[in-house]
Amino acid sequence: MVSDFSHTAHENIKTRAKSSKKVEKTLKRLLFIAGIILVAELIWLFVISPFIPFSTIDAYGFSEFTRAEILRLAAIDETSSFMSTNVMEVQNRLLNNILVESAKVSKRFPDKLTISLVPRRAAAVTLTDNGGRQNLLYIDTHGVFYKIGETASTEYAGLPVLSGIENPQLNMQLPAGLIPLVENISAIAAGSPELLSAISEIKIEQKAWDGYDLLLYPVHSSIRVRVENNLTEEVLRFMLLMLNVFENDSSAPAEIDFRSGMGSYKIKENSLW
């Protein structure tokens, strides 16, 4: 009786051991298969996918460029992939176009690319000789001469005309000393456009030694105004106040000088004849 019980117990242990070994083998096989699948996925994700062409390309520009033109400028085509695309090189290609002020290019692993362009914004215009005819040359807030146009569009209505610039050409840039001028013009246009619209022309005159004077030509007055190269809202408000003083005055001066901070002028002498 004891012998039968012992034999039965021994058989049960052997059965459980065999069952345990089967489970262990099954688990090992499952882990082996899972490992193969994981390795395959990693190979696909990190080795193969980055070389597959982008599945999504988002390109944001402005009116001068279609999506196709942006991709052409960026040298991105149907073969471009995450691994073959150098973000800095693409950005530099886009910035080589004079109409583009800034470009941001980003790629998201493994197959997405985003391109975003910001256009140059006109702060002023000047006139240039283009094949025997005068055209408008647009100047941005960095002093870059970036676009030629035959007439002023409604988009650029109210921009002041800068004159006194020697032989302005596309792709040129204003001297460093005049960059603050276009920055100030842009700030005034944003904050008090009515002040800027009171001026038809700003003539730049280089001083004998260093620096620049500005001659302002008001829209509704024949009196020109001379100021330092520091055009601000305060200067324009003071200018308009002084011009109101001389409205309908027959002895009004030809020019008012604000360079000292005070308006100085010479009264016209009455003719004897």
Q: Which of 92-101, 110-119, 235-244 has the lowest mean pLDDT?
A: 235-244
The predicted pLDDT at position 22 comes to: 67
Q: Answer yes or no: are the C-beta atoms of 178 and 214 closer than 8 Å.
A: no
DSSP letter at 103 equals E
Of all residues in the chain, the percent with pLDDT exceeding 90 is 36
The predicted pLDDT at position 223 comes to: 87
The closest of 142, 178, 177, 136 to 160, measured between CA atoms, is 136
The predicted pLDDT at position 186 comes to: 93
Angle, helices 233-245 vs 179-191, to 10°: value is: 70
The predicted pLDDT at position 183 comes to: 94
Reported as a single tens digit per residue, the pLDDT across 135-170 is 889 999 999 999 987 665 555 667 889 999 988 888
Check whether 91 has a pLDDT greater than 60: yes
How do 212-218 and 199-206 pair as beta strands? Answer: antiparallel
The predicted pLDDT at position 52 comes to: 78
Domain 122-265 has CATH 3.40.605.10: no
Cis bond upstream, residue 119 (ω within 30): no
Cα-based angle 147, 152, 157 (whole degrees, multiple of 5): 110
Could you state, in order of their start, the residue ranges of all structural domains in the chain? 2-50, 53-119, 122-265
Task: State the Cα–Cα distance between residues 88 and 104, nearest whole angstrom.
Answer: 9
Of all residues in the chain, the percent with pLDDT exceeding 70 is 75
The predicted pLDDT at position 230 comes to: 85
CATH architecture for the domain at 53-119: Roll (3.10)
The predicted pLDDT at position 98 comes to: 93
Cis bond upstream, residue 110 (ω within 30): yes
The predicted pLDDT at position 260 comes to: 67
Say whether pTM exceeds 0.75.
Answer: no
| pLDDT bucket at 220, cuts 50 / 70 / 90 | confident
Rounded to an integer, the average pLDDT of 237-253 is 78
